[in-house]
Amino acid sequence: MDSIVVKGGRELNGKIHIAGAKNAALALMPATLLSEEPLTLTNAPRLSDIKTMTELLESLGSEISSLQDGKVQVMSTHGRINTTADYDIVRKMRASNLVLGPLLAREGNAIVSLPGGCAIGARPMDIHTDGLEKMGASIELNDGYLHAKAAGGRLKGAVIDFPFASVGATENIMMAATLAKGTTVISNAAREPEIVDLATCLRAMGAQIDGDGTSRIEIQGVDRLGGATHPVVTDRIELGTYMLAPVFTGGEIECIGGRMHLVENFAAKLDAAGIDVSETKDGLKVKRRGDRPRAVNVKTEPFPGFPTDLQAQMMAMLCFAEGTSVLEETIFENRFMHAPELVRMGAKIDVSGNTATVTGVDKMKGAPVMATDLRASVSLILAGLASEGETIVNRVYHLDRGYEHVEEKLSAVGAQIERISSK
Ligand code: EPZ
């Protein structure tokens, strides 16, 4: 397993290119199952999760080719396909569950392994399955697989009221509804930019969708969808992560491709912490005003609230802020695993249930630490940038799921960081 070694204390200056969004691409790729025409994604990120989704779709019968160093994915799914998504692939990545809606819409049946829990929480699929059942699907759980069938071979439109604005459930139901008979309305839908990106791509394929980006989405089912070419939206979580980098080290970083509307709430928090964020022609420029950020309180919420996927990175920054901050994690039940690792580096964090209280310290010390999930791993690297001495982050396979070549992007702007491969 590889490790990443960071030596702290170096100021960062320059430009970092932000990639296409992992969480958009992982919803866009299953859309290829909805049509027999080719779907081409440009600006696709080069990540291990994309490889896993490619493996899953190929196991269902899709043909996928990557061009131009993986940033362009051309996918097409002709004729009859395999409708069983195997446990061995699905257990590696929860987003595999996003083939359920498209398979049901295209073939009228699907057998999809339940993804199982992961480090940050139980992550059930009840909102997905309740919505599909309202559309006429019968779904049974046998031997860890969801066995789904559409009554009469085709889903029908329904009015669906989500108990929680689930991102994945919104994506699954929206894709399923594009080919259903009649109109589907999703109330309390997720409003994330990745939902808007998926709806934009589906419309390019011929779907009739209105209201994406609001909490009420209406989909008028059609008989077939065509192909499309669609640019994957900028990754707002990678963007927020690199916006924080100069806060740990001093200096100024311009995140190329960043746009303010993707990170409005996050940028407002940075401003309250004493950090300048300005929109340039090409991206977002970030510089801290004083020597240390100020403490701020954070509560994670569905978009447009503060993103849970930036909570770990924000906690790392608040570890050396002036004052005491309170972070409340309302989306996942176990998303503070980075806290004990940051404490190993000298942070003062008190976790009680879904609340973490961080008392800022004026310096942190490098140490060997363990990555536990995707976003926790990058928060440890950021903390290493601001710490005295050397930080060794182990189990960086978590990192490679969601960040393209972190060590290259950070060393290009002055960080002393390298990957140690261990056979
Ligand atoms: C998406 O996961 C993202 N993943 C997550 O990013 C992100 O943290 C999450 O949305 C919230 O923004 C992808 O897009 C691939 P949810 P998803 O359904 O769709 C509960 C990352 O780091 N829930 O909005 O799984 C669930 O348990 C990853 O890139 C149910 O109870 O998130 C969780 O507590 C991590 N029943 C909450 O809702 C359901 O049927 C949010 O889940 C579905 C969800």
Helix, strand, coil shares of the chain, percent, nearest 5, are 35, 30, 35
**Confidence band of 117 (pLDDT split at 50, 70, 90):** low
Catalytic residues: 118
* Mean per-residue pLDDT over the chain, rounded: 95
Half-sphere exposure of 168 (CA within 13 A, CB side): 17
Task: Please give the distance, rounded to the nearest whole angstrom, from the Cα atom of residue 167 to the centre of ligand 1.
Answer: 6
Q: Under DSSP, is residue 352 helix (H, G, I), strand (E, B) or coil? A: strand
pLDDT recorded at residue 421: 87
pLDDT recorded at residue 372: 87
**CA 10 from chain center: how many Å?**
29
What is the mean pLDDT of the segment spanning 350-371?
Answer: 96
Q: Could you identify the atom of ligand 1 that is nearest to the CA of residue 26? A: 15
Closest CA relative to residue 155, chosen from 128, 129, 174, 182: 182
276 burial (CB, 10 Å; 0-12 / 13-18 / 19+) is middle
Query: What residue segments make up the domains of the chain, in order of their start?
Result: 3-18+234-420, 22-231
Q: Under DSSP, is residue 367 helix (H, G, I), strand (E, B) or coil? A: coil
**Confidence band of 119 (pLDDT split at 50, 70, 90):** confident
Nearest CA, atom 27, ligand 1 = 123
Reply yes or no on whether the pLDDT at 77 is more than 80: yes
Strand 390-394 and strand 3-7: pairing? antiparallel
Half-sphere exposure of 32 (CA within 13 A, CB side): 29
- Match domain 22-231 to its CATH number in 2.40.50.140, 3.40.50.720, 2.30.30.60, 3.65.10.10: 3.65.10.10
Nearest CA, atom 4, ligand 1 = 23
20 within ligand 1 shell (Cβ under 6 A): no
Phi, psi of 353 (to 5 degrees): 65, -125
CA angle 355, 356, 362 (to 5 degrees): 160
374 within ligand 1 shell (Cβ under 6 A): yes
pLDDT digits (tens, 9 = 90+) for 13-55: 999 999 999 999 999 999 999 999 999 999 999 999 999 999 9
Tell me if domain 3-18+234-420 and domain 22-231 are identical in fold. yes
Task: Please give the distance, rounded to the nearest whole angstrom, from the Cα atom of residue 411 to the centre of ligand 1.
Answer: 32
CB 84 within 8 A of CB 111: yes
What CATH code would you report for 3-18+234-420?
3.65.10.10
Reply yes or no on whether the pLDDT at 234 is more than 70: yes
